[in-house]
Amino acid sequence: EIVMTQSPATLSVSPGERATVSCRASQSASSNLAWYQQKPGQAPRLLIYGASTRATGIPARFSGSGSGTEFTLTISSLQSEDFAVYYCQQYNNWPLTFGPGTKVDIK
């Protein structure tokens, strides 16, 4: 099983600032990595797949990078609606696994 870890657990950022979330896989996930955003009381929303491809309708301020075991989600200029929990997920191997999440909150 590929174990996913994320850092930091919580990230405090001011609106307009840049936020960077890291995701690490215990073994190579190639580029088979997705990112999701979840707000309280809502279902997750797909942001990024293939490590760097934005899903339909996702603003350009969201970007993803990395391959193998190290991945990064960057939000270039945080908007109020971006404060949420972010999860990475690998789909390279069964079982599919998620990271524990990173909460991005207001500084």
Q: Which pair of structure tokens corresponds to residue 91?
A: 């789909």
Query: Which region among 14-22, 60-68, 74-82, 84-92 touches other proteins (by CB under 8 A)?
Result: 84-92
**16 vs 95, which CB is nearer to other proteins?**
95
What percent of the residues of the chain are helix, what percent strand, and what percent coil, each to the nearest 5? 5, 50, 45
Q: Which of 5, 7, 100, 105 binds other proteins (CB under 8 A)?
A: 100
Residues in contact with other proteins by the rule CB under 8 A:
32, 34, 36, 38, 43-46, 49-50, 55, 87, 89, 91, 94-101
